[in-house]
Amino acid sequence: MNKRINFEDTLFILNVRIRMLRDMMQLDVDADLFYRQSMGDIEFINQCLDALAEKFVANIKFLDRETEADNILDAEWQFGQLLNEMTSNSCPFTAQLFPDMPALIGKLRADSVKRKKLIEESYVPAENSTPEPVVSHAELNGLLGSA
């Protein structure tokens, strides 16, 4: 996967897929028909978010790094909401019907937490960064004649 990733388009598609799954959770669907595909979709979203986080951390030369980080973190939040809804009582996929689901959701949550931490640690928001002085204090003192 050495190809360039278009973050904006990729995140758009992932957010649409997340929204589709969240919408499905609100419907009265036959859980047996949709479970395996839904779990596959969620694992796919998780893998894509892994790839985006990896590329984001590896490339420190993004023009608008803070915006990209915010967009990835927003997608992670949406993903977290989906995972929360999957474990709610109103979800068609219950742990009684699908005993492997809680472990999978737990693993996906842990992956998401790791990615969020990695992304948050890899950039410093503009309001928290301290601009480097154009002239050092020593140079300023030398220019002004004070020692």
User: Does the pLDDT at position 97 exceed 60?
Assistant: yes
Summarize pLDDT for 46-72 with one digit per residue, the tens.
999 999 999 998 887 767 788 888 999
Q: Is 94 helix (H, G, I), strand (E, B) or coil?
A: coil
> By percentage, how much of the chain surpasses pLDDT 70?
80
pLDDT digits (tens, 9 = 90+) for 119-141: 988 875 545 444 555 666 666 66
- Domain extents in the chain: 7-144
Q: For the whole model, what pTM was predicted?
A: 0.78
Selection from 26-35, 122-131, 138-147 with the highest mean pLDDT: 26-35
Distance CA 91, CA 147 (A): 71
The H or E element spanning position 54 is: helix 31-58
Question: Could you confirm whether domain 7-144 is CATH 1.20.1050?
Answer: yes
Report, as an integer, the average pLDDT of 8-24. 94
